Amino acid sequence: MTQAFRYQSKRQKRICWMTDLHLDQADSNSTSQLLKKLEGEEYDMALITGDVASSQHLSEHLTMLAKACGSRPIYITLGNHDFYGSSITGTRQLIEKVCRQVPNLHHLSNGGAVDLGNRTILVGGDGWADGQWRGRRTKDINSPDHYSIRDFRGLNKWERLRKMRALGQASAVSIINRLRPALRFNRHIYVASHIPAFRTSALFDGKPCDANHQPHFVHAQLGAILIWSAKSNPSTRFTSLAGHTHSECKDVVLHNLTSIVGGHRKHRPDIQGILAA
């Protein structure tokens, strides 16, 4: 289980952050190098913001990553690719089974806030591109999610958008329910999710994604919650961590709200960096 709130620790914890590893597509040499890094780097905990592997390979690869972390905890959110080849419910059930079997593996969607010391916490959820957009759309973008995840098969485009919006809303509500009790007591809050919460940090071809791609690139409902939280708590710093777009981006949304999106190099999984809590 994730840790409850504790404020006595003053030492900053170091977070080894990874995203979009796609280990089922990686070559063995790159995977071995990643595991060696996880064994040798200095950090206190690991965080993965989704897209470890398709569902049929997820258990194997998460167990391998957790083993490389040794006794250090590893916290995960799921990405859309983690559901490929299965259903949303089936993959979530799989993850809970793996977490019960692997002591240092924790699914952020099913736990409370993780105490990082020095009045800093981590909350997170799987997140979802929620089908919303701003601006004029000129075409529909076909996402592999629509045929690779069972829940979307057979739906027309409007049914898919409604499904995406419902999934995004459920995830955003889950995150705010865990975030709200912590707002008064912490100076820095990390929010981890797979999908970027803001259009300006969800890049496509090096630019903020347009209205055509935004439904599949942005978790807009989470973004609205983070903006509200940051404006309501101006002395608290918020850092949103995400992946999905495969394009690195650091976006200062408000003076106390920063969105950081990790990158990805095809077939070459790597650590995004060591973050100081």
Question: What's the pLDDT tens digit per position in 97-106?
Answer: 999 999 999 9
Secondary structure class of 276 (helix, strand, coil): strand
Q: What angle do CA 10, 13, 17 make, to 5 degrees?
A: 155
Q: Which tokens belong to 211?
A: 């209205």
CATH class, range 14-276? alpha beta
Quote the pLDDT of residue 135.
87
Q: Where are the domains of the chain?
A: 14-276
Secondary structure class of 187 (helix, strand, coil): coil
Secondary structure class of 137 (helix, strand, coil): coil
Alpha-carbon span 7 to 122, nearest angstrom: 13
- CA 255, chain centre distance (Å): 22
For tokens 């485009």, what's the residue?
Answer: 157
Cβ-Cβ contacts under 8 Å for 227 (sequence gap 6 or more): 253, 254, 257
Burial of 263 (0-12, 13-18, 19+ CB in 10 A): middle
Residues 114, 72 contacting (CB under 8 angstroms): no
Quote the pLDDT of residue 5.
34
Quote the pLDDT of residue 277.
79
Ramachandran bin of 40, using left for φ above 0, alpha for ψ from -120 to 50, beta for the remaining angles: alpha
Quote the pLDDT of residue 7.
37
Backbone angles phi, psi at 171, to 5 degrees: -65, -45
Ranges of residues in the chain with a pLDDT under 70 are 1-11
Element at 204 (helix H, strand E): strand 203-204
* pTM of the predicted protein model: 0.94
Alpha-carbon span 167 to 175, nearest angstrom: 12
